[in-house]
Amino acid sequence: MSLAFLVFLSVLQGVTELFPVSSLGHTLLVPGLLGLRIDEHAPQLIPFLVALHLGTAVALLWYFRARWVAIVRGWFGSLAGHRSDDGHLAWALIIGTIPAGLVGLLAKKHIEVMFHDLRIVAVALMLNGVLLWVGDRVQRKRDAQPRSESLEKLTFGRAAIVGLAQIGALIPGFSRSGLTMIAGVGAGMNASKAAEFSFLLGTPIIFAAGLLEVPKLFHAGGQQLSDALLGGVLTGIAAYLSIRFLMHYFEGKGRLASFGVYCLIAGLASLIWLQMHHQVV
């Protein structure tokens, strides 16, 4: 893997993992459209991807570090019988994480089949855009109402619904952050709270995806390990900057529809290009 390609993939992962535009969809589509073939059997690929996920997870943990310290304390306090808003949020996040985690482990082999047809990815990206557009309409109606569900008061049932939305992101082209933001808005949160909950909810999933493959990272050779570490650092920096931007964006007047339009255009353009070139993988 060349240095330029390494930097490209690292930054692409760090940005698209958190933007509601599907990191997996972009990781599959963009190199393919640019003619940059990713060798799925290359020995350095898995360690590299592990490092990218860990870089994103570290960026999320660092940005919300104060929040996570309070959540962890609240969770341990709940085990000792002390009720608190942070403890409630901790259990809401656990409940929200379970559905996608189970489905991801059980259906991993079936889902991977879709990775080999980029046309499916392009269509999924378009559908992701439609869902973001619909979510934006819900958000506009929600903003017109004075009430907005706080994270600490989110019911476990609604947390489970938001967690179920993550399952859709197992299909390449659908965005985990986008789907959970839409579900969060539907659950009563405003845009900024929905984004925050989405990032908090995604942290265990992203972190676990990296940790499960950590042994492969340590078994990598010297050059492979150095490439992986560099990729992880670059991804972490890109992810941190993305979080900062998105939180400010949604705290202002940022709309999901903007990303929806992008996904529709990008997905349609990719599908047309793939059809014209008869490209599947």
**Structural domain for 93, as ranges:** 3-276
State the CB neighbour count (10 A cutoff) for residue 281.
10
Q: Give this prediction's pTM.
A: 0.84
| Range from 50-64, 78-92, 148-162, 257-271 carrying the lowest mean pLDDT | 148-162
Domain-embedded: residue 281: no
Domain-embedded: residue 21: yes
Domain-embedded: residue 99: yes
Domain-embedded: residue 157: yes
Yes or no: say if 257 and 133 are a contact pair by the CB < 8 Å rule: yes
Average pLDDT value over all residues in the chain:
83
| Residue 111, CA atoms < 13 Å, CB-side half-sphere | 16
Q: How many domains does the chain have?
A: 1
Domain-embedded: residue 239: yes
Average pLDDT over residues 122-134: 93
DSSP string, 117-156: -HHHHHHHHHHHHHHHHHHHHHHHHHHTSS----GGG--H
Of residues 239 and 215, more confidently modeled: 239
281: confidence class by pLDDT, cuts 50, 70, 90: very low
Average pLDDT over residues 194-205: 89
Amino acid at 100: A
CA angle 176, 179, 180 (to 5 degrees): 85
Domain-embedded: residue 46: yes
Encode pLDDT of 72-107 as tens digits: 999 999 998 888 899 999 999 999 988 877 776 666
φ, ψ (nearest 5 deg) of residue 156: -65, -35
DSSP string, 196-236: HHHHHHHHHHHHHHHHTTHHHHHTS-HHHHHHHHHHHHHHH
Query: Which pair of structure tokens corresponds to residue 236?
Result: 């972490």
Domain-embedded: residue 262: yes
